């Protein structure tokens, strides 16, 4: 089974949610489809679609104004949470250590963290993709529990640019090996960054790619559904 995760980021309203989730409900797929909504849209009628969040606090509860805890997400029936998305790392200074703590908070509450890693264009252009990704991976993953890893090159997010098949293959090989070496062959690996209905199938056929993380194209059914259908 493949995993297709939509990340709405800070977009959409109740009407958009209603339209997309209803369209997903009518779609027959053997794969797992998850929509990671903004916090305000998580409650309400989700039409049986698996819902994810886009961030989680490291803490269980207390004086952390504006934060949302794993307990709260659990209470809202959230199954997955994105942690360490490059936009959180960039705009909220989230380090690998913070990402790891957030992943642990999710696992503790029975939520599967989707841990994001990926190199900048500068790191790519200086030939450091594999070493950067491996370091981010090993410093961001918890020692135990169920989690997913999403490889998202920062320069590919929202840019319409994607790495070549060979480049994706090499990075997934690196991630797979690093996880294998610590006995974690069970971890699902996603690719993210400018996934669309035209490139999804090709990306999914690359060894060790178990699914995709989709930003912009997950907002509307006419761009999200073709991705899901192409993978089925
Ligand atoms: P994109 O975003 O599909 O719009 O490139 C992916 C992501 O940020 O997860």
Report CA(19)–ligand 1 centroid distance (Å).
20
SS (H, E, C) 139-165: HHCCCCCCCEEEECCHHHCCCCCCCCH
pLDDT value at residue 46? 95
Half-sphere exposure of residue 47: CA atoms within 13 angstroms, side-chain side = 16
Report d(CA 102, CA 108) in Å as an integer. 10
Is any atom of ligand 1 closer than 6 Å to the C-beta of 192?
yes
Torsion, CA 30, CA 45, CA 74, CA 142, rounded to 10: 40
Q: Which of 87, 94, 119, 152 is catalytic?
A: 152
pLDDT value at residue 14? 97
The per-residue pLDDT for range 82-128, each reduced to its tens digit, is 999 999 999 999 999 999 999 999 999 999 999 999 999 999 999 99
Give the ligand 1 atom nearest the CA of 193: 5
Is any atom of ligand 1 closer than 6 Å to the C-beta of 7?
yes
The per-residue pLDDT for range 157-192, each reduced to its tens digit, is 999 999 999 999 999 999 999 999 999 999 999 999
pLDDT at position 138 over 90 = yes
**Percentage, residues of the chain above pLDDT 70:** 100
Residue identifier of the C-alpha nearest atom 6 of ligand 1: 215
The per-residue pLDDT for range 209-229, each reduced to its tens digit, is 999 999 999 999 999 999 999
**Percentage, residues of the chain above pLDDT 90:** 99
Residue identifier of the C-alpha nearest atom 3 of ligand 1: 215
Report CA(62)–ligand 1 centroid distance (Å).
32
**85 carries an active-site annotation:** yes
Give the ligand 1 atom nearest the CA of 9: 8
Is any atom of ligand 1 closer than 6 Å to the C-beta of 193?
yes
Report CA(12)–ligand 1 centroid distance (Å).
15
Residues forming beta bridges with residue 80, ordered by sequence position: 52, 112
Any idea what the Cα angle at residue 140 is, between residues 158 and 95, rounded to 5°? 70
Report CA(157)–ligand 1 centroid distance (Å).
5
User: What integer is the mean pLDDT of 129-134?
Assistant: 98
**167 carries an active-site annotation:** no
Report d(CA 20, CA 227) in Å as an integer. 14
pLDDT value at residue 20? 98
Q: How many residues does the chain have?
A: 232
- How does residue 232 score in pLDDT terms, banded at 50, 70 and 90? confident
> Minimal CA–CA distance to 224: which of 20, 15, 69, 58?
20
Q: Which of 85, 87, 94, 176 is catalytic?
A: 85
Is any atom of ligand 1 closer than 6 Å to the C-beta of 152?
yes
Report CA(153)–ligand 1 centroid distance (Å).
10
Half-sphere exposure of residue 173: CA atoms within 13 angstroms, side-chain side = 9
């Amino acid at each position: 089974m493949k995993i297709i995760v939509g990340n709405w980021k800070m977009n959409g309203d109740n009407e958009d949610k209603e339209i997309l989730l209803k369209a997903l409900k009518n779609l027959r797929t053997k794969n797992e489809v998850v929509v990671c909504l903004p916090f305000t849209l998580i409650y309400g009628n989700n039409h049986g679609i698996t819902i994810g969040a886009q961030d989680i606090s490291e803490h269980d509860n207390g004086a952390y104004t504006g934060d949302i805890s794993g307990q709260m997400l659990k209470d809202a029936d959230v199954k997955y949470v994105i942690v360490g998305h490059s936009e959180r790392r960039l705009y909220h200074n989230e380090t690998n250590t913070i990402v790891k703590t957030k992943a642990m908070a999710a696992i503790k509450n029975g939520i599967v963290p989707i841990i994001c890693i990926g190199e900048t264009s500068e790191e790519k252009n200086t030939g450091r993709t594999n070493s950067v990704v491996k370091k981010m991976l090993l410093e961001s993953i918890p020692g135990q529990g169920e989690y997913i890893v999403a490889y998202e090159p920062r320069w590919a997010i929202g840019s319409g640019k994607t790495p070549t098949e060979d480049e994706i293959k090499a990075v997934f090989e690196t991630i797979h090996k690093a996880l294998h070496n610590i006995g974690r062959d069970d971890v699902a690996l996603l690719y993210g960054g400018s996934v669309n209905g035209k490139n999804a199938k090709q990306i999914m056929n690359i060894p060790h790619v178990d699914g995709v993380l989709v930003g912009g194209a997950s907002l509307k059914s006419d761009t999200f559904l073709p991705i899901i259908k192409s993978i089925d």
